[in-house]
Amino acid sequence: MSRNSRFEHRDKRRKANMVLNILIGIVVVLILVVASSLLIFNKPKDTDVANEPSKTAPASSDNKQTTDEDVKDQNKDKSDDSDAKKEDSSDQDDDTKITNDDEDQPNKDALKDAKETDGGKISDVDKTYENDDWKPIGTEQTGSHTATYDSKSEDWKEMLKAMSYATGIPEDQMTVIWLGNNGGPQDAKGTIRDKSTGQRYRVEMTWVDEKGWKPVKVEKLK
């Protein structure tokens, strides 16, 4: 091989190595560029993630505020419902009290509702009253009953209630003139006087088992 051929072969190898080095350099540069681009591209995403809690924080605060308001509203509603129930309970108590008061008070129009007749043959009787709607006044006594005319007995107290019920005169406004047997073991009769008017009445009553004394006739005396 001639000297010139060797020189040309060496020169080609040198040029090939140079081209190869340049290509390697270009590849390295491209790798660096791509890597830098990836870093730059990922950097905003990390920032967004880092800022995300601060963005959601106000939302969390709003949710808490909304929840607190809801709790307040619920408590207010419960309070209103409780007040309404108390008012309803109070109204019911008032109604019950009125009903009980009415039951304790005798019927002032008891004789007006009764059937009225003249005194008839009895000289001291002005008018006679009878009413099919009169009911037994109730009793706290149990077992077999025997009429008792002791002023301290339960029987006596219940007979006073029966006379008050039939005449419409409160017990504390009437004076018992006489109270005793009316011809039968379960029949009684009493004479009372209205303290406010001085008017006297005679009341006949009969015992109803387990229900108490029932008025059967009222006579207004002269």
Tell me the per-residue pLDDT of 108-145, one tens digit each, with 9 for 90 and over: 677 777 777 776 667 889 999 999 999 999 999 998 99
Q: How far apart are alpha carbons 109 and 133 in whole angstroms? A: 13
Q: What is the pTM of this model?
A: 0.52
Is 36 a domain residue?
yes
Q: 142-196: per-residue pLDDT in tens?
A: 989 989 999 999 999 999 999 999 999 999 999 999 999 999 999 999 999 999 9
Are residue 82 and residue 139 in the same domain, yes or no?
Answer: no
Cross-strand partners of 204:
189, 217
Range of the domain at 16: 1-104
Are residue 72 and residue 160 in the same domain, yes or no?
Answer: no
Nearest to 138 by CA among 206, 210, 203: 210
Query: CA angle, 54 as apex, 51 and 59 as ends, to 5°?
Result: 135
Are residue 58 and residue 142 in the same domain, yes or no?
Answer: no
Q: How far apart are alpha carbons 101 and 104 in whole angstroms? A: 5
